[in-house]
Amino acid sequence: MITNPEIQIQTKHLNVSIHNHEVLKDVNIIIPSKKLTAIIGPSGCGKTTLLKSFNRLLEIHENVQIRGEITVDGINILQPKLDVPDIRKKMGLLSQKPYPLPMSIYDNVAYGLRIHNHMSSKKIGELVTHCLKEVGLWNEVQNRLHDPASRLSVGQQQRLCLARAMAVQPEVLLCDEPTSALDPLSAQQIELLLKKLKNDYTVVLVTHTLRQAKRIADYVIFLYFGKIIEQGPADQVFNNPFRPETKAYMKGDIS
Amino acid sequence: MNLRRIEERFFFTCMIVSLLVVLSSLVIIVSLIVFNGASSLSLEMITQTPTGGYFLGGSGGILNAILGSLFLALPATGLAYLIGMCISLFLQSDFSPSWMSNSIRLFLDVLWGIPSIVYGIFCLMIMIALGFSSSLLAGICALTLLEIPIITRYIDESIKTVPIGLKESSYSLGSTKFETSIKVIQRQALPGILAGVLLGLGRGIGDAASILFTAGFSNNIPTSLFDSTAALPTMIYSLYAQPNPVVREKAYAAAFLLLIIVLIISVVSRLLTRRLTKHVLR
């Protein structure tokens, strides 16, 4: 099997049905490594479903049928005998609404470390500090690391979720409209963080804000009612799209 | 006057009357018990076991019943919690399909409706078949069966309120279903779990019918799982059934003690709940 190091994730003829309703139809895409790929399209057309199929998170819902192939680093993750938690460990998830775990701020970030590695508490402490500094949260929480995480503001919670995801050292960051529930200042902080992180991680960002995608995306996939209409480098899709649907979406005729 | 206004007034009056019925019942029951029982409550009563002549007016106390109740209800509640927790975690959609979980929930509802004396007789039949006589162990089994449906339904309802996004976040970190259940779901559902356990404990400590045949009766404090034991509900019954009015008053005192124990459990668990659930997302 020849694996192209520039492609992190690839799907072939991916079809997803939820409750017998076809959500994704014959999806063939590539996600390039160490770049920020934006998945854009109108609401309800399957963007989140596509994102959650990458780390096999769809399976926890009932009545989901997935057919096709999804390869991550050359391995088909839909094979039956794989260890699902291991697959998920490679990908961090940032949801639309931040869900801090019901623990202290410190324990939130340390959660992933404690379940995967047998590290000394000193090492865990160093990694937690490092991750909190990376997301710019350290100064705000260093004096209250053992306070409940639910007491943070929404913007801080989202940064905490990012720090928590980074702690397990994933290769891919899956972001599902991470700024749509935040105020403009926090949204900007998250955007800048993602822009910084795309050099070290492969970031997949689902967004329904075209302007956000234009600001930070390197590669764009346009999804319209479960079908891939167009995909390519950001510059080409935004400024010189091939398909008429893409042109209409860029102009704002369809949303 | 407007018909709708009359309807409104009538409905409001019904609400007030219902409230008064409930409040006055509570006040009357508690006053009756306190009025009749407070005078015969003494230090001797809570620190000594009954002598042979206790039921005829002799000296002694009901320490055997107090400790018996605790020895019966606390292990039963603990067991019912463990079993209930396992069942509730299984009922989540990521472990069992909805047709299975709905059937199990139906079974639990039916089990909840079974009268406690039926549980008592069921355990009695098993005991006799195995060759045992009434014992602490049998009483604990009967109480556990009684408490399981109550505790399980409360834990189940609480776990249902855990947002699926929280589970997704935990799974995305590479957590297994078991780790997520114990470390994340249990913590988030803790207020409901504690409420269920408290309710189960209250039911277990006050129930007479299920332990009537299974735990038996004894004037002594139980020292092994195979001893018979008295409990406060059965003690209240035994005391009240006596012809001597002085002895009957002791029944009220025993009832008063039972009320106090339940009150203490309630207050302590409320304080504990606040401490243990400070991390829960609201």
pLDDT in tens, A75-125: 888 888 888 888 898 899 999 999 999 999 999 999 999 998 778 889 999
Is residue A248 predicted with pLDDT exceeding 60?
yes
Mutate to test the interface with B, among A90, A109, A115, A177 (most CBs of B within 10 A): A115
CB-based contact A99 B166, cutoff 8 Å: yes
Nearest-CB residue to B93 (from A62, A92, A103): A62
CA distance B254 to chain A (A): 42
CATH number for B41-276: choose from 1.20.120.420, 1.10.3720.10, 1.10.10.10, 3.40.50.2300.
1.10.3720.10
For residue B98, give the nearest of A62, A86, A165 by CB distance. A62
pLDDT in tens, B77-120: 999 999 999 999 999 877 888 899 999 999 999 999 999 999 99
Is CATH 3.40.50.300 the right assignment for the domain spanning A7-251? yes
Q: Residue A2: what pLDDT? A: 53
Task: Give the span between the Cα atoms of B199 and B189, in whole angstroms.
Answer: 16
pLDDT in the model for residue B116: 92
What pLDDT was estimated at residue A59? 86
Question: What's at B175, amino acid-wise?
Answer: S
B96 touching A (Cβ < 8 Å):
no
User: Identity (one letter) of the amino acid at A11?
Assistant: T
What percent of chain A lies above the pLDDT cut of 70? 98
Instruction: Give this complex's ipTM.
Output: 0.91
The verdict on A97 touching B (C-beta cutoff 8 Å) is yes
> Residue B258 pLDDT more than 70?
yes
Q: Do B175 and A115 touch (CB under 8 A)?
A: yes
Partners of residue B280 in chain A, C-beta under 8 Å: 102, 150
Chain B, 219 to 248: residues with Cβ < 8 Å from chain A are none
Record: contact B174-A89, CB cut-off 8 A: yes
Under an 8 A CB cutoff, do A115 and B164 touch?
A: no
Closest listed residue to residue A15, CA positions, set A75, A70, A71: A70
Paired tokens of A116: 């995967």
Q: Which residues of B touch A146 (CB under 8 A)?
A: none
**Which residues does chain A have within 8 Å of residue B173's beta carbon, measured at their own beta carbons?**
88-89, 92, 111-112, 115, 164-165, 168
Which residue in the set B93, B169, B174 is minimally distant from A101, CB to CB? Answer: B169
Token pair 């009563």: residue: B45
Q: What is the pLDDT of residues B187-205, one digit of tens each?
A: 999 988 998 999 899 999 9
Calculate mean pLDDT across residues B240-258: 87
Q: Please tell me which residue, A175 or B220, carries the higher pLDDT value.
A: A175
Answer whether B169 touches A (CB < 8 Å). yes
Q: CB distance from A32 to chain B under 8 Å?
A: no
Residue of B179, B188, B278 with shortest CB distance to A115: B179
Asked if A51 reaches chain B (Cβ–Cβ under 8 Å), the answer is no
pLDDT beyond 90 at B21: yes
pLDDT in tens, A33-83: 999 999 998 887 889 999 999 989 988 888 889 999 999 888 888 888 888
As a whole-number percent, the residues of chain B with pLDDT over 70 amount to 100
Q: Is A115 on the interface with B (CB under 8 A)?
A: yes
To which residue do tokens 């891939």 refer? A228
Which of chain A's residues have a Cβ under 8 Å away from the Cβ of B183? 101, 111
Q: What are phi and psi of A22, to 5 degrees?
A: -75, 115
Closest CB from B94, B163, B176 relative to A85: B176
CB contact under 8 A, B279 and A104: yes
Any idea where the domains of chain A sit in the sequence?
Answer: 7-251
Residue of B nearest to A93 (CA): B172
Q: Has residue B72 got a pLDDT over 90?
A: yes
Q: Do A101 and B280 touch (CB under 8 A)?
A: no
pTM value? Answer: 0.84
A203 vs A6 pLDDT, higher one: A203
Contact between B173 and A150 using a beta-carbon 8 Å cutoff: no
Residue B19 burial by CB count (10 A; 0-12/13-18/19+): exposed, middle or buried? exposed
- What is the C-alpha to C-alpha distance for residues B1 and A170, in angstroms, rounded to an integer? 72
Measured CA to CA, the distance from residue A136 to residue A130 in angstroms comes to 10
CA B245, B246, B251, B256 torsion-angle sign: positive
Domain spans in chain B, listed from the N-terminal domain onward: 3-39, 41-276
B-chain CB neighbours of A61 within 8 Å are 93
| B100 vs A contacts (CB less than 8 Å) | none
How near does any CA of chain B get to the CA of A58, in Å? 9
Q: Say which range, A187-196, B43-52, B165-174, has the weakest mean pLDDT.
A: B43-52
Nearest to A150 among B94, B183, B279 (CB): B279
Confidence of residue A1 (pLDDT cuts 50, 70, 90): very low
User: Alpha helices of A36-183 — where are they, by DSSP H?
Assistant: 47-54, 84-89, 105-116, 121-134, 138-141, 154-167
Rounded Cα distance between B281 and A150, Å, is 6
Could you tell me if B188 lies within 8 Å of chain A, comparing CB atoms?
yes
